[in-house]
Amino acid sequence: MSLSFSVVWKSAVDSLKAAEHFLTVSEDARYFVEKYMNQIISILVDQTPSKIGSHERSCVQDSLRLATTIIAKDLEVQLSRKGQSSLLEVVTLVFNRKKNFYKGNKGHWNNHMSGLPEVRTGVIDLFLQVKGFTLLYSYMMERIGSTAFPDVDILHQVLAALGDIVPARSTMAEQATAVRESENAAIYVGRATMEFVNSCSGEKLKKIPVEALQTLQRDLSRIFDRLISSRRDCTYEYYKFWRGLVLRLIKSPSLPLRLFGWQQIDDLLDACAEHRPPPRFFDVSNAGCTFVNGRYSYIATTTPDGYAQNGIDISYQRHIPEKERDGGGKKLTLFRCTMRSQQKWWFLSEADEEQPGTDRDIDYYQHKSAKEQDESVPPGDCWITCRNAGIDPPPKLQPFGLMTPPGQEYNTLEHQLAEWAVKNEIVQIVLGDSVHREIVARSTGLIKFLASMCNRDDGVDSTSGKPPNKYCLQVDDLLLAWKTCSRKTDAAVSAQVYQLLVSILPECPGALATPLLEAVRTTLYQGKERVEYLNEVAEFCAALAAANSSDAKAVSTIDLDDDVRREVLEVLWSVLTHPNASSLKVYDTLKRYVTIELRVEPSGSEHRERYLAACIRALSEASNGESTSAVDETQALRMVKLTHFVLAACPRDQAAKLVNENEGKLPALLLAELTSSLRRLRSGDSVKRVSLDCCLCDQ
């Protein structure tokens, strides 16, 4: 019985061997492979190696190798005939890493893989050796736009196979030729795939499942990201294709395609951040160990063309001259260390010459990375003093420059993405006439990125002649966002835009945020009755409040520049003092938020004094004008309560100082206003009468 099975296994090999030999001259051989090879290979790759004998495993391997060469030969035949290869479907079996023969049974008792992945690598290498990928590239290029072009599943398996055999660039001379061949194959097939996608009409693109498009994009990214250190132009070509595809998607009339396009933008942002060149220098300041302060230069490996080497731990070093009295002769290192817990920690240390990165180092300061973005480059703050050698306070770090060749500082993937977004008016696409809530929600990442590019080139010296910080978020973009809110066409859209503006505000420099906040404040009085946009401004302020701690004793959770925080407070104060502010449902929420903002130091003291001065002016004007004009009781008593509100936000010492200034002018004004209010209410002289109990109640 076993002999008969052995004969069957051997027959598969013999049949394929004969077909391979006679493929170009025999119609019978061609009939056999077109009708039966797919079935034979499908059965063979579904075998689990641990459940068959060595003879059977050998037969499977021989069959796979034969099928590989048959596919290559058929491509050559079809190129000469300008025909269609039906054998390409076998690629989805031969290259598929998920087949049992390659991956084994995951349910095995010891949870070890029992497959033979090296066999798959072998057949991929064989396909490369017999020029299969080169032939496939030619076949694809000649059939773009026709029904003979390989389907998406075939493309996926081919690209996945190429991604597995393209190594990081080797420095060994004997491997250089093989590496170059695999790179070329990946580049050519990748280009043909990109040409195919670019050739698809809008209707054809809609017919390709979103999951399939995403799979192709990830396969291509995997290939070209591996080539970034050896073929940078090629990788840039791929990212240009990717951005072009995204533009088509986000402009599509199909909402699912548009949403997929915005998902792709998030992936683009992640890729740009991953490939961001590390800083060339770090300036360390504020450290208690004063000799630690100074400039640290990049010392890690670079590529021959001057870029930082991918996939290595970066480090920086500072040599203190011998003549320096403070730490003279020391060699200090800024580096990352993977701890036993697998956490990534940064250290500012004097490394041991013989065993650097060990307990023999003298550590002055350290940073325990809690966020993934803190692991790639040294963070600027939140450092901790090492008690054995460090001295408080811990340092601040400021990056400068980029590890790129001279003249390429403004040609990173981030700069290219920002230029693409600005030139193609992506923000206008998001916030234009066809604004959609889901699109606005998905655009936050890109718009925050564009805001961060406003000062990305600060401190970067470039010989390219290009202006720094050229492509970034513009004031007009933010004003368009606010205009979208004030249209009042869709409350859900407006709410989403409020959240968008709040989320990007910390990334905006003052020159960008200030015009927006001024525009928000001025719209309070643009309506015919000077109250038309009060609700819109209040909702924007409520969105700001929602991003902050609900604990009135806590400082702001939004990290804003001082000038931006000043403008935020101006908007808030304008709302609180607006004549119709009492009608707002969020009035109490905004007061709590203002309390939080007024306690943010070191500028909180200045803000509190400024707003108390505004209250004093309002009370003085009311007192001076009482005899000549009617008084708005609601507004007058609101200013009394706001005065109490600002004083309550002051520390005790400051409150006492402000109350006693100018010989107690403030208490006198408050007493005079309350007395006058009682008198006016009794006499009925006020134009706007209100209940005294209501006016004096706490809000």
Region of 168 on the Ramachandran plot (φ > 0 left; ψ -120 to 50 alpha; else beta): beta
Assess whether pLDDT exceeds 90 at residue 652. no
pLDDT at 555 over 50: no
For range 231-235, the mean pLDDT: 78
**Residue that is written with structure tokens 């209707």 in the block:** 203
For the residues 190-207, what does the mean pLDDT come to?
92
Higher pLDDT, 658 or 292: 292
Question: What's the chain's Rg over C-alpha atoms?
Answer: 35
Cβ(295)–Cβ(316) under 8 Å? no
Whether the pLDDT of residue 378 is over 80: the answer is: yes
**Residue 556: is its pLDDT beyond 50?**
no
Residue 347's DSSP bridge partners are 335, 366
Whole-number Å distance between alpha carbons of 547 and 114: 52
* Chain mean position to CA 158: 29
Domain ranges of the chain: 1-130, 131-275, 281-400, 420-599, 601-699
The pLDDT, as a whole number, for residue 248 is: 95
Alpha-helical regions (H) of 82-209: 91-94, 100-103, 117-129, 132-142, 152-165, 173-199, 202-207
If pLDDT is split at 50, 70 and 90, which confidence band does 42 have? very high
Place of tokens 């796979």: 64
Of 143, 46, 154, 32, the residue nearest 91 (C-alpha): 154
Which pLDDT score, from 0 to 100, does residue 393 have?
Answer: 93
CATH number for the domain formed by residue range(s) 420-599: 1.25.10
pLDDT given at position 111: 43
What's the pLDDT tens digit per position in 687-699?
A: 444 443 444 344 4
pLDDT, position 693: 41
Task: Give the chain's mean pLDDT.
Answer: 84
Supply the pTM of this predicted model: 0.83
H or E segment and range at residue 298:
strand 294-298
Contacts of 439 (CB under 8 A, 6+ apart): 250, 258, 259, 262, 430
**Predicted pLDDT at 288:** 93
For residue 484, count other CB atoms closer than 10 A to its CB: 22
Size of the chain, expressed as the number of residues it contains: 699
